[in-house]
Structure 1
C-alpha cells in the first residue's frame, strides 16, 4: 500500500482490496501489522536455523546447535500465533 492509498483509507475515501467483509479499519490495521511482524519473526527463525545448519569450519557444540534450532522453532510458533491472532 502506498502513502497515497493509505491517505484515502484513513480519510474514508477508499477501502483496501484485501479488507475482509464487516472488518473495521482498526481490525484491518492490526491484522496487517501482525502479519508484517510474523514475516519478520519468520526471517529471524530462518536466520537461526541457517546458523545451526551452517558448516563454516567453526566447531559448534551439539548443545549450541540445539539451542539455535529451538530458537528457530519457538520463533516459528510465535509467528504462527501472530497470524492466528493469539499473541
Structure 2
C-alpha cells in the first residue's frame, strides 16, 4: 500500500512541477508583451514630440538653430549626427 501512495505522491509532485513551469512560461510571456507595449508607447511618444517640435519650427514658433544646438549636444552616434548634417563626434582614445 505504501508503494501506491508513494507513486501517487510522485505523480502529483511531477504534475505540480509541470504546472509551476507552465505558470512561469505564461508570466514570462506576459512580461514580454508588456515590455513590447511599453517600448512601442515610448517610440510613439518620441515620434509625437519630434513632430510637435518640427511643426513649431515650420510655424516659426521655435528656432531651427535651437534644435540644431540640442542635437549637437545630445547625439553621439555618427549616423544619427549625419541626419542633422552634424560632423562626427570626436572620440577620445584614452
Fold match, TM over 0.5? no
Task: Tell which has more relative contact order, 1 or 2 (C-alpha 8 A, sep 6+).
Answer: 1
Name the TM-score, length of structure 2 as normaliser: 0.40
* Structure exhibiting the larger radius of gyration computed from Cα positions: 2
